[in-house]
Structure 1
Amino acid sequence: MDYITLPQAVENFIAATNAHDVNALAAVFGDGATVRDDGTTYVGETEIREWIQVHLINPKIVITPTSFAGDRLVASGDGEFPGGPLSFAFVFDIKDDQVTDLTIDPV
């Protein structure tokens, strides 16, 4: 696979997700960040930490990037959930090397 150049915040998001590290993953998000995933919006540190635990850590998600253009990462997500691996689009808004907004949709 060709090497994909990613912004530092996206690299940090992938590394922390794949390491199943709640604290490192929470640190990727800036103050007042928003995550939209699976029809729900999570705002702020408390809600985002809960989303991280339930949607990324508990099912032991591993993200494998396949492409990145503009602010959109397409990646394969696998873990302990039925039907995996699945492809997802992660659309990031980043400020000062932290994620301020993340939207995740199936591809």
Structure 2
Amino acid sequence: MPTPPLPAPVDRALRAANGGDIDGFLAAFADDGAVNDWGREFRGPEEIREWSDAEFIGRQVTLEVTAVRAQGATTVVSLQVGGNGYTGPSDFAFTVEGDRITLMRITG
């Protein structure tokens, strides 16, 4: 079975994270978009930036896509996470509306 392509905003967000580009990462999100990191929610660019500075891009995150699957309106991306924070496999579920991410949920 072929792997579905990454939606454009998801691809932009992952590339920005890998490049250490917080502004590019934030630009992939809707103005009221959110990150849900194991139940902790960060909504809007200021909260997402604070979370990312402390736990994501600020920790020199690296993300290698290992699988992509569509689940309805959600795209689940399995990633091998590296950097100076959490490292290991993780699933990120992205909800996209139009050309922006409305929710990035880190689930495991």
- Given the two structures, how large is their TM-score scaled by the length of structure 2? 0.87
Give the aligned length: 103
CA distance in structure 2 between the partners assigned to 1:4 and 1:76 by the alignment: 18
Deviating more after overlay: 21-30 vs 34-43: 34-43
| 1:81 CA drift (Å) | 2.8
Q: Which runs of 5+ in 2 are unaligned?
A: none
For 1:2-58, what per-residue CA distance to the aligned partner results, in whole angstroms no more than 9, with x for missing partners? 987211111101100000011101101101111100431111111011112112122
**Match of residue 90 from structure 2:** 88
- Given the two structures, how large is their TM-score scaled by the length of structure 1? 0.87
| 8 Å Cα contact 1:26-1:52 kept in structure 2 | no
Q: Which runs of 4+ in 1 moved over 2 A?
A: 2-5
Compared CA separation, residues 52 and 66, structure 1 to 2 (3 A): same
| 1:102 CA drift (Å) | 1.1
Deviating more after overlay: 43-52 vs 14-23: 43-52
Identity of aligned residues (%): 25
Cα root mean square deviation, aligned:
1.8
